[in-house]
């Protein structure tokens, strides 16, 4: 009897955490050789599993953000309503309510089902290996290839993140064709913090996925002003997001109690290009900002 893709994906022997941390060539081969198998397995899982009744759609967004975004797509000259929802909370760092806390359980239930699917998922290992996280973009090996998730992710990147980035950071225009993303789960005594760093992105959107009442202690993200050296710690409430140039130095402070969940999403240009330091951005008009670039993914993954 022949096994289904889902059964075969579940049966594949997985690389150890040590091998992943060492980035051994065998790990690379593992993801490369099983790429199509895992993609097929996610499709099969989607058609069969208990998450069938979970719908990932625009109801997840904060209603004010969703309305403003939808109006701007209809009439880009109304884009200021989107910009007005973002507050500059540190030089070059903006905050807004992004997902609706009341609807976040839908996304979190879905991600729990993903974890239970028992299909190998590659955790993010940019700066350290995060146990509870997953790669989200098709350019990444071992990404979350479930079709429903992918259409939600694509809409988030194309309809929300890119125009918001262009509005807040005019220099990002043209350095935003490529998408990249991962999820993180911060846990006390496990994956607790990240040292100060910059991201290899033109722009980074960091969206909190904690549910109302799902509290944690510590785990702020501190930002460093490159000009004044001032440091400020920013904290997340359920569904809030921060957006900043990847070049703004930041660090994840230790989590001391509970868990914090988030999506970290990047845009950058073809071949990993980011805007030159100090660029102010050319002149683009609203209709150019509210448009999806025609190019394809260049397949380049920063990590
Ligand atoms: O703690 C956070 O949410 C920030 C994570 C981060 O900076 C990164 O993954 O590059
Ligand atoms: Fe970062």
Inside any domain, residue 9: no
Inside any domain, residue 41: no
Mean pLDDT over 175-192 rounds to 94
Mean pLDDT over 159-172 rounds to 97
Inside any domain, residue 163: yes
- pLDDT of 127 reads 74
Find the residues whose C-beta lies inside 6 A of ligand 1: 194, 199, 206, 221, 250, 252, 262, 264
Inside any domain, residue 303: no
Inside any domain, residue 275: yes
Nearest atom of ligand 1 to the alpha carbon of 252? 1
DSSP state of 156: I
Query: Rounded to an integer, what distance in angstroms lies between the CA atom of residue 46 and that of residue 40?
Result: 10
Mean pLDDT over 14-25 rounds to 90
Cα–ligand 2 centroid distance for 197 (angstroms): 6
Least confident window among 48-52, 121-125, 190-194: 48-52
Nearest atom of ligand 1 to the alpha carbon of 206? 3
According to the per-residue pLDDT averaged within each range, which of 52-61, 127-136, 276-285 is highest? 52-61
Cα–ligand 1 centroid distance for 241 (angstroms): 12
- pLDDT of 281 reads 78
E runs forming strands in the chain? 87-90, 93-97, 178-187, 194-197, 203-208, 216-218, 221-224, 231-234, 240-245, 250-252, 255-268
Query: Rounded to an integer, what distance in angstroms lies between the CA atom of residue 273 and that of residue 270?
Result: 6
Nearest atom of ligand 1 to the alpha carbon of 124? 9
Cα–ligand 2 centroid distance for 198 (angstroms): 6
Choice from 184, 196, 247 to test ligand 1 binding pocket (greatest atom count within 8 A of CB): 184
Inside any domain, residue 84: yes
Query: Rounded to an integer, what distance in angstroms lies between the CA atom of residue 72 and that of residue 167?
Result: 11
Look at residue 49 and tell me whether its pLDDT is greater than 90: no
- Tokens linked to 201: 């992105």
Q: What is the pLDDT of residues 206-247, one digit of tens each?
A: 999 999 999 999 999 999 999 999 999 999 999 999 999 999
Instruction: Please state, rounded to an integer, the average pLDDT across all residues of the chain.
Output: 95
Inside any domain, residue 43: no
Query: Rounded to an integer, what distance in angstroms lies between the CA atom of residue 185 and that of residue 166?
Result: 28
- Facing residues of 259 across strands? 187
Cα–ligand 1 centroid distance for 270 (angstroms): 23
In terms of Cβ atoms closer than 10 Å to its own Cβ (0-12, 13-18, 19+), residue 242 is buried
Nearest atom of ligand 1 to the alpha carbon of 262? 3
Inside any domain, residue 19: no
Cα–ligand 1 centroid distance for 215 (angstroms): 18
Of all ligands present, the nearest one to the C-alpha of 219 is 1
CB atoms within 10 A of CB 55: 12
Choice from 206, 243, 261 to test ligand 1 binding pocket (greatest atom count within 8 A of CB): 206
Q: What is the pLDDT of residues 115-127, one digit of tens each?
A: 999 999 999 987 7
Look at residue 110 and tell me whether its pLDDT is greater than 70: yes
Choice from 188, 242, 252 to test ligand 1 binding pocket (greatest atom count within 8 A of CB): 252
- pLDDT of 1 reads 65
Cα–ligand 2 centroid distance for 301 (angstroms): 15
Mean pLDDT over 41-68 rounds to 94
Cα–ligand 1 centroid distance for 74 (angstroms): 33
Q: Which residue range(s) make up the domain with 68? A: 55-289
- pLDDT of 132 reads 86
What CATH number is given to the structural domain containing 248?
2.60.120.620
The domain tally of the chain equals 1
Note whether ipTM > 0.95 here: yes
pLDDT band at 51 (very low <50, low <70, confident <90, very high): confident
Q: Name the closest-CA residue to atom 2, ligand 1.
A: 252
């Amino acid at each position: 009897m022949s096994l289904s893709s889902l059964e075969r994906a579940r049966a594949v022997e997985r690389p150890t955490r040590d091998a992943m941390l060492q980035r051994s060539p065998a790990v690379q081969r593992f993801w490369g050789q099983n790429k199509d198998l895992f993609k097929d397995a996610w499709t099969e899982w989607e058609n069969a599993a208990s998450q069938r009744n979970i719908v990932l759609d625009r109801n997840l967004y904060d209603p004010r953000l969703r309305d403003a975004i939808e109006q701007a797509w209809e009439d880009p000259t109304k884009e200021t309503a989107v910009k007005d929802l973002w507050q500059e909370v540190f030089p070059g760092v903006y905050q807004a309510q992004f997902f609706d806390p009341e609807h976040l359980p839908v996304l979190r239930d879905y991600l729990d089902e993903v974890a239970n699917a028992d299909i190998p998922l590659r955790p993010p290992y940019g700066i350290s290996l995060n146990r509870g996280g997953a790669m989200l973009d098709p350019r990444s090996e071992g990404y979350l290839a479930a079709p429903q998730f992918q259409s939600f992710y694509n809409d988030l990147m194309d309809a929300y993140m890119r125009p918001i980035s262009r509005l807040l950071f005019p220099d990002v225009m043209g350095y935003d064709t490529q998408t990249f993303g991962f999820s993180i789960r911060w846990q006390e005594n496990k994956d607790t913090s990240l040292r100060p760093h910059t991201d290899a992105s033109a722009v980074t959107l960091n969206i909190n996925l904690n549910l109302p009442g799902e509290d944690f202690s510590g785990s702020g993200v501190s930002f460093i002003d490159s000009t004044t050296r001032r440091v400020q710690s920013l904290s997340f409430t359920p569904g809030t997001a921060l957006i900043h140039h990847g070049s703004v130095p930041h660090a994840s402070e230790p989590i001391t109690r509970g868990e914090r969940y988030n999506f970290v999403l990047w845009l950058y240009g073809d071949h990993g290009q980011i805007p030159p330091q100090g660029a102010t951005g050319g002149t683009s008009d609203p209709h150019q900002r509210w448009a999806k670039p025609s190019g394809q993914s260049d397949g380049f993954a920063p990590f």
